[in-house]
Structure formats: structure tokens, C-alpha cells
Amino acid sequence: MSHANAALTPRQRLRLARKIVDEEWTVAAAADYFRVSWPTADKWARRYLELGEAGMADRSSRSHSHPNKTPPHLVKKIVHLRIRKRLGPVQLAGRMGMPASTVHAVLTRCRLNRLSHVDVKTGEPARRYEHETPGGLIHVDVKKLGNIPDGGGWRYVGRAQGRRNRAATPDKDRNIYRNPLMRHAFVHTVIDDHSRVAYAEIHDDERAETAIGVLRRATSWFADRGVRLERVLSNNGSAYRSHAWKRACSDLGIAPKFTRPRRPQTNGKIERFHRTLADGWAYSKHYNSESARRAALPAWLHFYNHHRPHTAIGKLPPISRISNNLAGHYI
């Protein structure tokens, strides 16, 4: 659409073109009469000859060719990784060797980008916090996952085959309906608030003594990397509210803290890590057995801590925020 101060509106262009083509005015005379340049008058006359009255409308300024446009095969690969791996633009850019802005533009064109950066429940902007030093606060929680039967679970092989795999998996208890009980895996996770370095163990329960054992080993693991733990933030689960948990924290010199009831956003860093854990490890590919999935966790944790760019800390791997990480020491 022409702007308000345009010398030639579509109607004026038509008048100018008709003066030159139909009434045989010279281009110079028509340009002088309509107060436009000679090339402009010639352009509208040629369009009128080629397209008639329809040629007087505005055309798109978009170029006919896009030599720098992302090639279709790269677009296809980005979309494939986005759907299968559910990775963000930064992680996709790292895998593809492309700028994150380019990847985000591709996701936007394909309507696969995520626009929301607010609290899902309240719609309010997320209130973020971060402790200044490693070990100033750690987050602890448990991720509960259904065990995988031998042959694979229903997410990849379908529900019918998944039921058959469950029935064929040996040494499982059965319920009153004689259906096999696969039970659950409980991933006990510990996240450092400042660096986002993660520690995790898989157990068959979420009892207090198990959580305490994880905390003790995590404390030693962080101490080996020069990090002294000062506070631990947990939800209000029975394991963390127990007297045994409080005594263990006291023995380790760690102050226990608890989230507000019915407010998991307070422990949001570990909640978000659990989503990354599920996407990157637990459901990232087809596992033939539960033991195969459990065996894959240490390698994924190493990738997360040492190689995966983290958007909340400047697209650096979490281990880079631990000050005593000597060059090549943990690679």
C-alpha cells in the first residue's frame, strides 16, 4: 500500500501510464507533469504495456532469490532433532554447527518454537534467583520413572507389544489380576544452584535412608571438585521432613531448607533439570531393558555437566562455573 505522501498512488500511476501509452506523451513530458523522475515514469509505462491496469499495484519488495537461506536438508535435520530430541535452539546450534539465531529462525518458520517465558500456572513473569558461589545452595528431589520391560516399553514398541514384553520379563511380582509389576526407578538428583552441576543416582525406593545416602555421596563428590555444600533445598516429602534427614544435614554441616507447600516453582531449577533428564536420557531413545537405560545415565550426566551449553549461565557447560576445574581435569 502506498504511503500517505506518495507522489503516485495506483490511480495516479494509471493516469501517467495512459498519458504515455494511449495519448503518446513523451516520457519526459509525463514525468514533468506528474512531478516524478524520468525512470519512474518509464517504469509505470512499461508495466502498463505488459500487465495493463493490474500492473499499477504495489509489488512485494522480497527478493526473487535467497542465496543465504538455510538449505532444505539442514532445515529438515533441525526439525527432526527438535521433534525427536526436543532440544532448544542453543543445543541444536551446537549439534549443527550453526548460530543459535539461525536455528531459532528456522523453528519459528516451522512453528516449532516455544514462546512462553512465564509461569505456566499464574501467567506472571518468572522470578529468578541464583546464589553467588558454588555450594551456597543445592537442590534435591526424586524423579520417578516406570521400569522398562525386556524388549522395550510401550512408548517405542506400542501398547500391544509393550504388554507382551511386560508379561515376558522374568522375575517380576504380580498383582491380584496376575499382571506383572514392573515397579519404578527413583532417580535421586542433586543440583548446584550456582553452577547447575548435577549429581544423580538411581535407586528402587525414595525412603529417607536412601536420600541420606545420596546426600552423603553427593557431598563427597562435590568436595572432590572443591565445592563445600552449605544449604540444601528440598520439597516437603516425608524423606526430607524426617528427623533422620535433619540429623544427617547437621552432621554434614548443611542447613536444610524447604519449599513453600504446593509451590514447586521454588525448586524450579531441579524441576527443569528433570525435564532435561527425561528428554535427554530417560526417553531419548529405545532401550531394550531397564538395565540398558540405567547404564546410559553416567555418560549422559558427563555430557550434561561437561559439554552441554546451558542457556541460564551464558551458554557454557555447568562445570565451567566451578572455579577449581583445572584444564582437562574432568574430561
Higher pLDDT, 323 or 110: 110
Q: Do residues 104 and 192 both lie within one domain?
A: no
Alpha helices per DSSP H over the chain: 10-21, 27-33, 38-51, 72-85, 89-96, 100-109, 154-157, 159-168, 208-223, 238-241, 243-252, 268-277, 290-306
Q: What's the pLDDT at 14?
A: 92
Instruction: Tell me if 244 is assigned to some domain.
Output: yes
Q: Do residues 21 and 101 both lie within one domain?
A: no
What mean pLDDT comes out for the span 178-194? 87
56 pLDDT higher than 60: yes
Percent of the chain scored above 70 by pLDDT?
88
Instruction: Tell me if 63 is assigned to some domain.
Output: no
Q: Do residues 99 and 210 both lie within one domain?
A: no
Q: Do residues 102 and 228 both lie within one domain?
A: no
What are the pLDDT digits (tens) for 269-316? Answer: 999 999 999 999 999 999 999 999 999 999 999 999 999 999 888 889
328 pLDDT higher than 50: no
What mean pLDDT comes out for the span 169-193? 80
Chain mean pLDDT for the chain: 86
Indicate the Cα dihedral angle 283, 288, 291, 292, nearest 10°. -70
211-219, Cβ contacts within 8 angstroms, sequence gap of 24 or more: 211/140, 211/142, 211/239, 211/240, 211/245, 212/244, 212/245, 212/248, 214/140, 214/188, 214/190, 215/140, 215/190, 215/248, 215/249, 215/252, 215/254, 216/248, 216/252, 218/138, 218/190, 219/252, 219/254
220 pLDDT higher than 70: yes
What are the pLDDT digits (tens) for 93-142? Answer: 999 999 999 999 998 888 777 644 335 455 444 567 788 899 999 999 99
CATH number at residue 245: 3.30.420.10
Q: What's the pLDDT at 270?
A: 93
Higher pLDDT, 58 or 317: 317
What mean pLDDT comes out for the span 143-171? 85
What is the band of 152 on the pLDDT scale with cuts at 50, 70, 90?
Answer: confident
Number of domain units in the chain: 3
Which residue range forms the structural domain that includes residue 214?
138-147+183-321
